[in-house]
Amino acid sequence: MLARDKLFHNVLKICSMNILGWTVMVAMGMNAAISVRISNELGAAHPRTAKFSLVVAVVSSFIIGLIIAAILIIFRKTYPSLFSSDVAVQDLVRDLTPLLALCIVIDNVQPVLSGVAIGAGWQAVVAYVNIACYYIFGIPLGLILGFKVKLGVKGIWYGMLSGTVLQTLILFLIIYKTNWNKEASIAEDRIRKWGGDTDIKENSVKRPAATET
C-alpha cells in the first residue's frame, strides 16, 4: 500500500505540479491580460472591441493548449524519463498522458474565461462558480472515483477534470449570453457612481499662445 501511494504521489507530482503547472502559467498571464483589457474597453464604452478581445484571447489560449498537448502526446514515450528513473512511474505517466493533454487544453481556456468575467465585474459570480464546480463537485467526485470505485489516480483526476469542465461550460454559457452593450452601460454607471469622468474631452489641455516674433 505504501509503495502504491508513493507511486501515485510521484505521478501526480510529475503530471500536475510540474507539467500542468508550467503550462498553465501561459493561461494565467492571459487571464490577467484579458481581465484588464475587458475592463478598460467596457469603461471606455467599446463593447465590440471588448467582445473581439475576448474571442482573440480564448482562441489564442486554446491553440496554445492544443500545441502543448500535441507535443506531449508525440513525445509521450520519452519525456517521463526527464522526471523519474522509476520504470513504474514512467509507465503510469505515459498511460496518463492523453488525460494530461486534455487537462492542459481545458486549463488553458478556463482561466481566460474567468479573466473575462472578472474584467466585466462578475467577481462574485466567478467565485461561486469556482467553489461549486471544483470544491463541491469536482474534488468529492474524484475522491469517490479514486477510492470507492478503485480507479486510483485516474479516478481522482477524472473527478477534478470534471469539475474544471463544468466550470468552463458555465462560464462559457454566461459569456455567450452576455449583452456587451448593456455591460458597457453598466460600466459607465459604475464610473459615474465612483466619481469618474466618462466624457472624453478633446483638446482639454490649453496650449500657450504663440509669441510674436
Report DSSP letters for 49-98, one per residue.
Answer: HHHHHHHHHHHHHHHHHHHHHHHHHHTTTTGGGGT---HHHHHHHHHHHH
Note whether residue 189 is domain-resident: no
Note whether residue 200 is domain-resident: no
Please give the span between the terminal C-alpha atoms of the chain, in angstroms, as a whole number: 94
Residue found under cell 474534488? 139
Going by pLDDT thresholds of 50, 70 and 90, the confidence category of residue 200 is very low
- Give the model's pLDDT for residue 201: 43
Note whether residue 11 is domain-resident: yes
- Give the model's pLDDT for residue 5: 57
pLDDT at 81 > cutoff 90 = no
Q: Chain-wide mean pLDDT for the chain?
A: 83
Range of the domain at 108: 2-180
pLDDT at 204 > cutoff 60 = no
Note whether residue 213 is domain-resident: no
Nearest to 41 by CA among 181, 174, 173: 181
Note whether residue 205 is domain-resident: no
Note whether residue 187 is domain-resident: no
- Give CA angle at 209 (205, 211), nearest 5°: 150
- Count of structural domains within the chain: 1
Give the side-chain half-sphere CA count within 13 A for 5. Answer: 3
Summarised one tens digit per residue, pLDDT across range 141-168 is: 999 998 889 887 788 888 988 999 999 9
Q: Crossing angle for the helix pair 123-130 and 153-176, nearest 10 degrees?
A: 150
DSSP for 24-46 reads HHHHHHHHHHHHHHHHHHHHTT-
pTM: 0.80
Note whether residue 26 is domain-resident: yes
- Distance of alpha carbon 137 from alpha carbon 73, whole angstroms: 29
Distances in whole angstroms, Cα of residue 15 to Cα of each of 18, 92, 118: 6, 10, 28
Note whether residue 155 is domain-resident: yes
Contacts (Cβ under 8 Å, ≥6 apart) of 121: 39, 183, 186, 187, 190
Cell of 140: 468529492
- Cβ atoms 83, 12 nearer than 8 A: no
